[in-house]
A = this chain, B = another copy of it.
Amino acid sequence: MPASKQRVAILGASGYSALELIKLLLRHPNVEITALTTRQTEPRPVGEVHQSLRGRLDLALENLDAAAIAKRADYAFCCLPHGASASAAKELLPLGMKVIDLSADYRLSDPLEYAKWYGLDHVDRDNLKDAVYGLPELYRDDIRTANLVANPGCYPTSAILALAPLLEAGVIAPEGIIIDSKSGVSGAGREPKPHLHFAECNENFAPYGVGTHRHMPEIDQVLSDAAGMSVETIFTPHLVPMDRGILSTSYAVPTGDTSTEELLANYLEFYAGEPFVRVLSGLPATKHVAGTNFCDLTARVVRGRVVVLSVIDNLIKGASGAAVQNFNLMCGVPETTALL
């Protein structure tokens, strides 16, 4: 463990993921938060933007350029919108900073796929080649030595942790996988929109982005890597009237005879020693992982089909907690620091 603390900057610090990240880092014995950035011109005390932080962090959100950030910090967590994030990282990396990007900019390895799904030319193809997908359960060793980590999307984390072990083991077929996901509303961000208005989404349950959500190609890419062959999933996200939590119900066709017991044994072996994946014999519930970095999961064989149920807190294991887990790996402190 390094004797001194790491100096940390959070870019785009006004959103919900940034707030959770700040709360986690305030408890981190190896971290000093030294900069919070915003794209607004006027600096504002962080306690005005996040009222829950009043009296806990005496720092302003400022409009800082890359040089100013690099002077103050060793690590940058980017909570910027896609596009803006790659522009920032492109400038920070040559200045010697390590970057953990919570946007989608470095998740898809193929810039053409990125352009197709995000409607943007990728501005930082050079660094994209070296970016590591920040899911420790699959890519832990690469994360340790990475300078640029692409923090996974929330839905992909819940789906990949559920399906990668079975694909890697060849237990399920790569064709026709269905991922039916349900998310709390905080995942949609902090900007007021009609469908996120309380009186619209309270007491309401609805699908969105059916067959068109940008997390679909991300899931496919990582699952294809796990399977060693091309995987194309059918992904359906829904909005649940609650603050936080994702449950993904995944359906797959087994490649041979299997049973609930075999599936659970497979998970227990795959996730042996993992600090943040809990394999359950009972059914998971989002509330049991709320506010934590855990992924709880289980599986069942129903009428010859494999049904996998996995839950995470979308803001923690699906965003800020995973970012801290990646940070811990990158700077060589115990992986669970500030996360239990």
Contact = CB atoms under 8 A, between A and B. Distances in A.
A5 interface: no
A243 interface: yes
Contacts of A286: 203-206
Interface string A263-292: 000000000000000101001111111111
B27 A200 contact: no
A256 interface: no
A116 interface: no
Given A202-B202, A289-B52, A302-B234, A192 B185 contact: no
- How many copies make up the complex? 4
A196 interface: yes
- Interface size class for chain A? 35 or more
A211 B300 contact: yes
A94 interface: no
Contact of A242 (B182, B192, B204, B210): B204
A193 interface: yes
Interface string A176-218: 1010101011101011111011111111111110110000000
8 tightest A-B contacts by CB? A211-B302, A206-B285, A204-B287, A192-B192, A180-B180, A51-B288, A185-B198, A192-B197
